[in-house]
Structure 1
Amino acid sequence: MRDLFRSLKRLGLGAGLGVLFGLLAFGQAAQAANPMELNFWLSGPNYEGRVKGCEAALGTISYQFQEKESRFWNSALQITGFGQIHETAFRPWQSDNIPRRYCSADVMLNDGKLRTVHYSIIEDGGFAGFGQGVEWCVTGLDRNWAYNPACRAARP
């Protein structure tokens, strides 16, 4: 092995790497898994498209908004009410993607300002893939710019 590296050093770095990659290229060919090596239980995603309606996520959004504002931004802002709740899209992409329902609503905050929240309800998008997950953005209060500009990344 020592002689191999000495000869590679003499040939130069480029030629040495070429020889090394050439040796690796002539290794054993990859083979398909035999039936005992196959994993029988992971058959792939099996989405049914059963996503709750837009109103089902409002409690989660209120709770997570208050928690985010108080914990990370030292703010007392809270959502006091929702209005104009409507669906903007359902599974806007191909049918084999994770099913999502996109919604928008007007929210009233305890500072008296009316803002818009854009959110999506995701099948199997909860913690560790259990339950339905919710991703949301309140326009004008995306302080870490996760959905910038103006919560556009939270929409379809």
Structure 2
Amino acid sequence: MHKTANVLAKLPKSVQPKVKADLQEIWMAETRTSANQAFERALKRFEAKYPKAMACLAKARETLLAFYDYPAEHWVHIRTTNPIESTFATVRLRTNRTRNCGARETTLAMVFKLLQSAQKNWRRIKGFGKLELVVNNVPFRDGEQVNDQSDRIAA
């Protein structure tokens, strides 16, 4: 999401909707291969007129496509920054109001309690059972678990 905003900021407003549509085509692709194809189309289409924006995009290619190495159930969570932003928005709203909360310990206690209260409304992560596989470095390709040696070689 942040990379999209960074790329769009380097473009004139009149072109931003076209580029944004191409960027969405990249990160909504079903497989890494189709995402790479969409990536190439976007670069080829806009690179001549907007080299700075496309250089910004091309520089982060591997990072932007890294979510294909995780379970497909987790993609919806990886593609968004909302969990981070909404969590800290709750804290920011309260701490800005109180300004000087007093001692450091008081502020930390307040932030802890705010986060504890906010977590009651958080959505559970999809594919929670696959977190153990991710932590144990089980390989995934295009959201599917790679099971044997022949699958790894095909990648």
Q: Same fold (TM over 0.5)?
A: no
Q: Give the helix-richer structure, 1 or 2.
A: 2
TM range (shorter): under 0.3
TM-score under structure 2 length normalisation: 0.20
Larger radius of gyration: 1
